[in-house]
Amino acid sequence: MTKFSDLGLSQPVLQALDLKGYETPTPIQEQAIPPVLDGRDLLGIAQTGTGKTAAFMLPAIDRLRASDNNIPFKSCRMLVLAPTRELAMQIAASAKDYGALAGLKVQAIVGGTSVNKDRNKLHRGTDILIATPGRLLDLVDQKAFNLGAVEVLVLDEADQMLDLGFIHALRTINKLVPADRQTLFFSATMPKAIKELVSNYCRNPVQVSVTPESTTAERIDQYLFMVQQDEKQALLELILSGRHDIPGDLERTLIFTRTKHGADRVVKKLSQRGISANAIHGNKSQPQRQRALDEFRRGKTSVLVATDVAARGIDIPGVSHVINYELPNVPEQYVHRIGRTARAGKDGVAIAFCAEDERTYLKDIRRVTEAELDRLALPENFRAVVEGVGPTKPPPKGQTRVSRKKFKPRPAGSGKPQGDGPGKPQGKHPARKGRPGGRPGGKPGVGSRRGGRGRGQGGSGGQGNAPRSAQG
């Protein structure tokens, strides 16, 4: 088995990895680190969760150490472009960890925060800058920053940057960076527009491609409630307050809505019921988003409600449940959403709330993922509870959590009939049954990327970190 020390990394970087507790490189790290250390351009076809941040950051740190240039005034030596604020902040945190003993200065700038503060903090330059494209170009336009000293340029999640409308920004940035820099280009998909960008940005790149570990998806048990739109909030409240059993121990729950207003509505109603939750979406300020994420990470709030774009690329260990309060209209988005659970070798549970008018989305999800999504029964007397006339049984004293052991699925349909045909037989890991046994070779399952990433997020929970044209 390859070890980090076999890859040619320096002692300070190896020590930092030791501190992080990483023992062996992931496949993308194994393939990418040696050629990047050799100064080659790289095209990495990989998505979040594969360890790609370390795959580019570790060798780049060593390249910067080796060239030993001074920190340039109002510029940086390594520039990492990321589509969203959350991803940028996450990369910055990793860069600080990985470079802790290398003595490199790391800064991040993202939209939605004070431009003046960014201008001040970049005045003296930095070794590594992680930036969203819009904010970066704002500073360049103001002559507060320049890209003339960039030695290593990273484009992370390039397909997402295009989806978010950053194509013009990326073309501009390409003209501003020195021609002889090293470029590390990452994208989960390779549509034509990305190929064009690659040919403009990279010189004879080494190509490495990794699919996300299928085991991640296989560790996610997937379930489904057929529930009317106006019943969803009540169902959510019953689940989160422990009054309706669902599989798995509820620890940290990430809830997805399609729209920003939807997310706010859910949070507001939950708090009216004494369930504390935060929302992250494009209408929240960057400090609000960061605080919500931090509180969720630290366990101060155990419920986070997010839109797709805001949650993209974020890595929060310990998410026990993903609830799709509204189904995504792009099936691949479902895969991204449920991939927020079962991180770092843990199990996870994904639960979809499907209303009558979302059946087409459900069909698409089943087609793309080939997962069964075992149907769960609604609580007894559910309609009465929804209408506020039925008894809302309080949870047994001291019990607000449900446990996987205690969970005994009732046959679907034993609650209010929902008209989804007969419930499916329920096994221990029903969601796994529908998968073709033993990929590779079989058809792709949930963790696979068939048909590329979801596009057309416009209007569905948008992103505050909009392209420059939208930032005014």
Binding site for ligand AMP (CB under 6 A): 22, 25-26, 29, 48-54, 315
Determine how many CB atoms are found less than 10 A away from the CB of residue 17. 20
What is the distance between the alpha carbons of residues 176 and 146, in angstroms, rounded to a whole number? 8
- In the chain, % helix, strand, coil (3-state, to 5) comes to 40, 15, 50
CB of 91 to ligand AMP, least distance (A): 8
Nearest to 145 by CA among 168, 170, 173: 173
| CB of 188 or CB of 352, closer to ligand AMP | 188
What is the distance between the alpha carbons of residues 400 and 404, in angstroms, rounded to a whole number? 13
CB of 93 to ligand AMP, least distance (A): 9
Non-local (6+) Cβ contacts of 184 within 8 A are 32, 36, 41, 42, 44, 56, 60, 152, 153, 154, 155
Interstrand relation of 206-209 and 126-131 (parallel, antiparallel or unpaired): unpaired
- Which tokens go with 434? 């529908």
CB of 23 to ligand AMP, least distance (A): 6
Rg for the chain, CA atoms, rounded = 23
H/E stretch holding 397: none
Nearest to 236 by CA among 221, 220, 257: 257
Tell me the CA distances in angstroms from 204 to 55, 171, 200, 210, one per residue in order.
19, 19, 11, 19
Nearest to 280 by CA among 93, 465, 47: 465
Non-local (6+) Cβ contacts of 156 within 8 A are 52, 53, 56, 80, 81, 82, 83, 87, 91, 186
| CB of 152 or CB of 266, closer to ligand AMP | 152
CB of 51 to ligand AMP, least distance (A): 3
CB of 313 to ligand AMP, least distance (A): 7
CB of 92 to ligand AMP, least distance (A): 13
- Which tokens go with 315? 């890595």
Strands (E), 21-125: 42-45, 76-81, 106-109
CB of 47 to ligand AMP, least distance (A): 7
| CB of 21 or CB of 274, closer to ligand AMP | 21
CB of 223 to ligand AMP, least distance (A): 25
What is the distance between the alpha carbons of residues 410 and 179, in angstroms, rounded to a whole number? 64
CB of 208 to ligand AMP, least distance (A): 13
CB of 296 to ligand AMP, least distance (A): 15
CB of 182 to ligand AMP, least distance (A): 19
| CB of 23 or CB of 196, closer to ligand AMP | 23
- State the Cα angle at 224 between 279 and 264, rounded to 5°: 15
- Which tokens go with 431? 């969601």
| CB of 317 or CB of 425, closer to ligand AMP | 317
Cβ(155)–Cβ(175) below 8 Å: no
- By CB atoms closer than 10 A (0-12, 13-18, 19+), residue 239 is buried
